[in-house]
């Protein structure tokens, strides 16, 4: 059965643990796994801009023994409206997996429905699950484990990072709190799904409009841009409501004294995070960015092994 990774909850708690354990092994020994030797090709398609995702998939696929095929969707026939399903049917006869960064999540669901090879979400408007695998690996490296820790995400509660922290965080047994303005709160269906998973893992999922309540005693504090890709026209509206949720040194004083700070990057210093915080001693954002490589290599290895089982 072909396994796809479109949302964080496409991996069960046990499966997520397997991927993160393999990611830690790969971080220690980068060339220990070569499931793409041949080489097999993995297509990595971008409808939006990227630095970290493009680099980490290209490097990671090569380190797994494979050949990355990076495609700017605008320069392919997809950019002129060729159906997603037709693109999937052309790709899956030639590549071992398809990685795609796009807009509406329904687009990647359409790709996965038509593809016989694994499809991986490299960010949609609704979810960014590869980033959360990297973030969870970073938490494991700095805190030893994830279960029972309080992870707070402050900022746009309705964006891809908020949704993925909710689903991926509770899958790892964390207590996830999203702090955001009321008009930017998480999709209720995602919050409900996170609460359902939390029952199984011992974690919890909550939303609050109070940044101080959110950050109180946090072990991990995360944030993201207030203006996601595709929202540029709303940039001036997406400032004032978010100011109380900026990750400042003052707000960090309410978190646990050994809290770590995550940011998926790119960061906007002086907006969602103070320079003193992102460039300060609690920040682990460079480890987090490196961990995209290890986490995605583990994910691809895991998906390919499962997808070609009898």
Binding-site residues from annotation for L-ornithine:
160, 224, 228-229
Comparing CB distances to ligand NVA, the nearer of 70 and 305 is: 70
**Alpha-carbon distance values, 65 to 119, 205, 251 (Å):** 19, 39, 45
- Tell me the closest approach of the beta carbon of residue 51 to ligand CP, in angstroms: 3
Comparing CB distances to ligand NVA, the nearer of 55 and 67 is: 55
Instruction: Give yes or no for a contact between 116 and 97, defined as CB atoms under 8 angstroms apart.
Output: no
Q: Give the SS3 label for residue 166.
A: helix
- Tell me the closest approach of the beta carbon of residue 225 to ligand NVA, in angstroms: 5
Provide the 10 A C-beta neighbour count for residue 177.
23
101, 140, 163, 294: the catalytic one is 101
> Which range, of 50-58, 110-118, 192-200, 233-241, touches ligand CP by CB under 6 A?
50-58
33, 264, 294, 296: the catalytic one is 264
Residue 50 lies near ligand CP (rule: CB under 6 A): yes
Note the Cα 287 to chain centre separation in Å: 15
Number of H helices, E strands in the chain: 11, 9
Burial class (CB in 10 A: 0-12, 13-18, 19+), 109: middle
Comparing CB distances to ligand NVA, the nearer of 34 and 51 is: 51
Q: Which residue number has the CB closest to ligand NVA? A: 228
Rounded Cα–Cα distance for residues 281 and 272 (Å): 18
| DSSP letter (8 states) at residue 196 | H
3, 140, 238, 292: the catalytic one is 292
* Contact partner at residue 51 from ligand CP, ligand NVA, none, CB < 5 to 8 Å by partner kind: ligand CP
16, 131, 185, 296: the catalytic one is 131
Rounded Cα–Cα distance for residues 24 and 128 (Å): 20
Comparing CB distances to ligand NVA, the nearer of 17 and 126 is: 126
Rounded Cα–Cα distance for residues 299 and 18 (Å): 9
> Is position 128 annotated as part of the catalytic site?
yes
Rounded Cα–Cα distance for residues 160 and 129 (Å): 9
Instruction: Give yes or no for a contact between 69 and 40, defined as CB atoms under 8 angstroms apart.
Output: no
> What backbone torsions phi and psi does residue 5 show, to the nearest 5 degrees?
-130, 90
Residues in 139-198 at the binding interface with ligand CP, rule: CB under 6 A: none
Choice from 16, 53, 102, 121 touching ligand CP (CB under 6 A): 53
Instruction: Give yes or no for a contact between 4 and 110, defined as CB atoms under 8 angstroms apart.
Output: no
- Tell me the closest approach of the beta carbon of residue 124 to ligand CP, in angstroms: 12
- Tell me the closest approach of the beta carbon of residue 223 to ligand CP, in angstroms: 12
Total residues in contact with ligand NVA, by rule CB under 6 A:
10
**Among positive and negative, which fits the CA dihedral 3, 5, 6, 8?**
positive
Comparing CB distances to ligand CP, the nearer of 123 and 197 is: 123
**Alpha-carbon distance values, 44 to 100, 252, 269 (Å):** 6, 37, 29
Residue 51 lies near ligand CP (rule: CB under 6 A): yes
Residue 131 lies near ligand CP (rule: CB under 6 A): yes
* Contact partner at residue 124 from ligand NVA, ligand CP, none, CB < 5 to 8 Å by partner kind: none
> Is position 101 annotated as part of the catalytic site?
yes
> Which range, of 7-15, 159-167, 198-206, 293-301, touches ligand NVA by CB under 6 A?
159-167
Residue ranges in contact with ligand NVA by CB under 6 A: 123, 128, 159-161, 224-225, 228-229, 264
Which of the residues are catalytic?
A: 101, 128, 131, 224, 264, 292
């Amino acid at each position: 059965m072909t396994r796809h990774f479109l949302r964080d909850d496409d991996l069960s708690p046990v499966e997520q643990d397997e991927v993160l354990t393999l990611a830690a092994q790969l971080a220690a020994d980068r060339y220990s796994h070569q499931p793409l030797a041949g080489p097999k090709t993995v297509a990595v398609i971008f409808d939006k801009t990227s630095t970290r995702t493009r680099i980490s998939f290209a490097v990671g696929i090569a380190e797994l023994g494979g050949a990355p095929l990076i495609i700017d969707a605008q320069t392919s026939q997809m950019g002129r409206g060729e159906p997603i399903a037709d693109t999937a049917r052309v790709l899956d006869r030639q590549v071992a997996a398809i990685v795609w960064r796009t807009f509406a999540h329904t687009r990647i669901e359409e790709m996965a429905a038509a593809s016989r090879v694994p499809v991986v979400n490299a960010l949609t408007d609704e979810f960014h699950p590869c980033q959360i695998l990297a973030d969870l690996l970073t938490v494991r490296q700095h805190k030893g484990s994830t279960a029972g820790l309080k992870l707070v995400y402050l900022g746009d509660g309705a964006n891809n990072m908020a949704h993925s922290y909710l689903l991926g965080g509770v899958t790892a047994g964390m207590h996830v709190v999203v702090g955001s303005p009321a008009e930017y709160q998480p999709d209720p269906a995602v919050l409900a799904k996170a609460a359902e998973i939390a029952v199984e893992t011992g974690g919890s999922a909550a939303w609050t409009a109070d940044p101080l309540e959110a950050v109180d005693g946090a072990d991990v504090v995360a944030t993201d841009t207030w203006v996601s890709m595709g929202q540029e026209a709303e940039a001036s509206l997406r400032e004032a409501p978010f100011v109380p949720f900026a990750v400042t040194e003052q707000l960090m004083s309410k978190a646990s004294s050994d809290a770590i700070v995550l940011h998926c990057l790119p960061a906007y210093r002086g907006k969602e995070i103070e320079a003193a915080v992102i460039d300060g001693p609690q920040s682990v954002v460079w480890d987090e960015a490196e961990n995209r490589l290890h986490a995605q290599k583990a994910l691809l290895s895991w998906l390919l092994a499962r997808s070609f089982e009898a």
